[in-house]
Structure 1
Amino acid sequence: MSFLLRFSESIRSAVREGTVQIQGGIYNLETGSVDFLGALPTQTELLDSTMAIPPSMVEAGEARGKHGVRTGADSAVPKDVALKMLKAGNERFAAGAPTATQTSGPMRKALVQCGQAPHSAILGCADSRVPVDTVFDAMPGELFVLRNAGNTCTHAEGSMVGSLEFCTGKLGSRLILVLGHTKCGAIAGATQTFQAGGENAPGSALEGLLQGLSSVAKDASEELGPGALQEELAAHTTKVNVFSSMNFLLKYSEPIRELVRKGDLDIQGGIYHLETGRVEFLGRSPQQAELLAAEGTLPPSMALGTVRTTSDGPMAPQAALKLLKVGNERFVVGAPKAGKVHSSMRETLATGQAPHTALVGCADSRVPLETVFDALPGDLFVLRNAGNTCTHAEGSVLGSLEFCTGPLKTRLIFVLGHTSCGAIKGATSTFLSGQKTKAPQALDALLQGLGSVVSDAQKELGKKATEEQVAAHAVKLNVFHTMNFMLKYSEPIRQKVRSGELEIQGGVYDLQTGRVEFLGASPSQAKLVAAEGAVAPSLKSKMQGA
């Protein structure tokens, strides 16, 4: 009785208002009678307590981090401890006594300097009524949160699955929680789509999402049996969908499967109840053991197509970009498909080419471009040189790109740099040491040509940046520099970009992980496309010489 009055504000309020009484008693096993003790003698005193929750729910323990927040300086939290932290945090939230309300300057500084080490990854719904960090009363640095409508995981090309592989692999998180919630709009829409028998080709991304979730609604309907009401079906579909996302991870992600198999990772499910603020923890998927015992497979979104030839029409830029992403994902997870080329495919290729992407990459032997994107012959028009540069206009790189985007009708140019690039490192060393040669050799000319990129990188980072930091940043800037060169000095390419017929995208390949970081379009694209074209310096000197 004392504990209830001391540590529960909601109970104290009810007692003060007279809507609740707390009485005590002792049951006598021998006589069967109860000795009624009445109210607690110290009740009046305890009603003045200001404690909102028990001590066990106030202290998060050492798992919260050496700096008061979790950072890269902290060791990984065991999966059972991480789950306990989620449960305790949700209880604090539901009780109206959150503790993760203040972060200090030193805490924020530690998060910047030490990096992140979240104890859990949460895959939740984008619904504005389910603020995940708030629901679990989490401090910055504790949760790695992924959200989309319907907390789905239906594609593997980097968005959800790739992010979870990064969190559990690189960041060391030992718990994944898939979190659904009551009254989910996406689930309600999917349930209606299922009941309406929507099987036509989706006309929008939303329709595609609802159709994808309708298969979950179908499974839920079969479990409930005929006659289930719409609201009942939607509620059960929410639960089935949580397990569906958990099963997707176990079925289609080999890195996650291996971590779970070794006991280094746990995947749990839960449903957040909007009405109470409490999370119903569902535990592991009933199919986990079966899925771990089965052989891993690739998801349908990563399936490999046939070779491209002149009989294929031009591919839309975003469709081509998606092929690059799913191909890189296959390469990363160790499940390439492009090596299986049979004789009939080679015979077909002899009729002509229709590459979906023109790729400008580095000549570095550690970056085999077709392999990195698990591309079939006929997919990529590949141009490679040291430093993935585009500094001359007379035929080599720029002229080749004009040929590919002109006669071959390719609609995507992708410029790919990579970490630890020797050309960029050499240019950085040359620039920072202040060397000024007369460029007697082609290599010296290359390094000096990249010097402007290194200069920009140093200006953006500041003078205190180390040579390694400058070189790493220059890799990214060099990708944009090459993209900008095309837009500035090639009228055919500029016109195609202006009309929307062509897109130019960039990326950086990480030698350690095998993953490509997709950078998107150049920040300067709009400005360059709107400006008048210029003559490339290499052509200008020749024109003047003539």
Structure 2
Amino acid sequence: MKRVFSTMVTVVVCLGLAALSLASSGGSGLGADEALTKLKEGNGRYVAGATVAPHQDAARRHETATGGQHPFATVLSCADSRVPVEVVFDQGVGDIFVVRVAGNVAAVDEIGTMEYGAEHLGVPLIVVLAHTKCGAVTAVVKNEPVTENIGQLVAPIVPAVKAVKARFASDSLDDVINKSIEANMWQAISDIYAKSPMLKQMAAAGKVKVVGALYDIDSGQVRWFGEHPSQANLLAK
């Protein structure tokens, strides 16, 4: 009995070490930079009209149903129907852990989901994907009347819009909206670090990389901004 128990403990420990090893480079086996390259290549194919639509067949469904999911990137995007994340990056089933919400805000639900992706699924890369002509940001810029629930939803966007308006008060409305969309992307990354000690620690340790990006809903092209310009200060707080 003791020998059986000892064997069982050894197996459990080995499985645990294997899981930790897999998580360190992402559940998919890719590092953050490799994952980023894969997204960039996929978007390039999408823009060029040369998509390959990988991992969208019955075999892939069966593989992920029986073997679990091992996404290589987490993407926080707007819920806008013109931003279909897997399509934009030419990926398929089980490739991207997608978190969608109006205005790509990073609040409790979104951050908790990203924590799950990073800690439990071993996802090494988080992309905050803003997009042109964002209705949520536009509504905040124009101070449009909204329901109580929508007001609470877009509240994280307000600081970014206020900062843009204070700095670019003489700009046209369209320019203020465009600048606010970009500022809101950075705001979301700042909120991730401010509200998630786990993700902040993982980023500081190099286990997770968080980058910003902007999707042009007309051209289909994603513009990459990289890590937050004040990354060091955000991680030091």
**TM-score using structure 1 length:** 0.37
Deviation at 1:207, TM superposition (A): 2.8
Amino acid of the structure 1 residue aligned with 2:158: S
Which one has a larger percent helix, Structure 1 or Structure 2? Answer: 2
Taking the TM superposition and a 5 Å limit, the aligned residue runs for 1:495-514 are none
Amino acid of the structure 2 residue aligned with 1:276: S
CA distance in 2, matches of 1:101, 1:78: 20
1:159-216 Cα offsets, whole Å, 9 max, x none, are 11111000000000000000000011111101001xx8x8xxx752123334442321
1:221-242 Cα offsets, whole Å, 9 max, x none, are 233x221111100000010000
Please list every run of 5 or more consecutive structure 1 residues that lacks an aligned counterpart in the other structure: 1-73, 295-546
CA distance in 1, matches of 2:110, 2:190: 14
From 130, 134, 139, the equivalent of 2:83 is: 130
Amino acid of the structure 1 residue aligned with 2:199: I
Give the 3 Å change call, closer, same or farther, for CA 91–269 of structure 1 in structure 2: same
Amino acid of the structure 1 residue aligned with 2:202: L
The match for 2:215 is 272
Q: Is the 8 A contact 1:76 1:173 kept in 2?
A: no
Is 2:72 the counterpart of 1:119? yes
- Tell me how many residue pairs correspond in the alignment: 211
Query: SS at the partner of 1:86?
Result: helix
User: Cα RMSD between the aligned structures?
Assistant: 1.7
Give the 3 Å change call, closer, same or farther, for CA 105–228 of structure 1 in structure 2: same
Q: Is the 8 A contact 1:150 1:186 kept in 2?
A: yes
The match for 2:49 is 96
Query: SS at the partner of 1:267?
Result: strand
Taking the TM superposition and a 5 Å limit, the aligned residue runs for 1:13-52 are none
Give the 3 Å change call, closer, same or farther, for CA 252–210 of structure 1 in structure 2: closer
The match for 1:480 is none
CA distance in 2, matches of 1:217, 1:102: 39
Indicate the structure whose relative CO is greater, using CA pairs within 8 Å and at least 6 residues apart. Answer: 2
From 179, 192, 201, the equivalent of 1:236 is: 179
Deviation at 1:122, TM superposition (A): 0.2
Amino acid of the structure 1 residue aligned with 2:196: S
The match for 1:287 is 230
CA distance in 2, matches of 1:209, 1:109: 36
Give the 3 Å change call, closer, same or farther, for CA 285–183 of structure 1 in structure 2: same
CA distance in 2, matches of 1:234, 1:240: 10
CA distance in 1, matches of 2:226, 2:55: 31
Is 2:105 the counterpart of 1:162? no
1:359-408 Cα offsets, whole Å, 9 max, x none, are xxxxxxxxxxxxxxxxxxxxxxxxxxxxxxxxxxxxxxxxxxxxxxxxxx
The match for 2:18 is none
Amino acid of the structure 2 residue aligned with 1:221: K
- Work out the percentage of aligned pairs sharing the same amino acid: 31
The match for 2:190 is 247
CA distance in 2, matches of 1:268, 1:173: 13
Amino acid of the structure 1 residue aligned with 2:139: G
User: Who wins on radius of gyration, i.e. which is larger?
Assistant: 1
Amino acid of the structure 2 residue aligned with 1:130: V
The match for 2:10 is none
CA distance in 1, matches of 2:50, 2:185: 28
Query: SS at the partner of 1:150?
Result: helix
Amino acid of the structure 2 residue aligned with 1:86: L
Q: Is the 8 A contact 1:174 1:265 kept in 2?
A: yes
Q: Is the 8 A contact 1:250 1:288 kept in 2?
A: no
Please list every run of 5 or more consecutive structure 2 residues that lacks an aligned counterpart in the other structure: 1-26
CA distance in 2, matches of 1:150, 1:101: 28
Query: SS at the partner of 1:107?
Result: helix
Is 2:29 the counterpart of 1:86? no
